[in-house]
Amino acid sequence: MDSLGTTKLALLEQPELGISFEKLNVWRLLQFNKCVYLNPDTLVIKNCDELFCHEELSAVPDIGWPDCFNSGVFVFVPSIQTFWQLLEFAEKQGSYDGGDQGLLNSYFNNWSDDISKKLSFIYNLMANVSYTYTPAYKQ
């Protein structure tokens, strides 16, 4: 599913994100009660079962915009109703960044109001910032 946000994606210089609406299909995993989505570039280095103790939608704050979440790692509850609502929202509202992250942040727009839904940055640590946060990570 293409986000059709080519102008916005061009501003980010990341046209490959236009196909990232495929991620919405995870809400169709109805055989599960709760899931954790991990982007394909995520490397799990130890057990992270504790993520399943969090509610939908729990995610890591975006490193550049902490009032928004990064959609690389998030906890969700599969629901066909949510899936169809996300599709409808995508058609009517679109995505402010042209990709799934903008769409999901707009749809789950009260995410930043609930501190319990903010996952620790260690669940989505980016390699290019590890030098800065190494002491905190090791703690």
Domains and CATH numbers, the chain: 3-124 (3.90.550.10)
Higher-confidence position of 32 and 17: 32
Residues 38-67 as b/e (b if ≥16 CB within 10 A, e otherwise) read: beeeeeeeeeeeebeebebbbbbbbeeeee
pLDDT for 65-93, tens place per residue? Answer: 889 999 999 999 999 999 999 999 998 98
pTM of the predicted protein model: 0.79
Four-point Cα dihedral 40, 134, 129, 55, nearest 10: 50
Residue-averaged pLDDT of the chain: 84
Q: Are 65 and 58 in contact (CB under 8 A)?
A: no
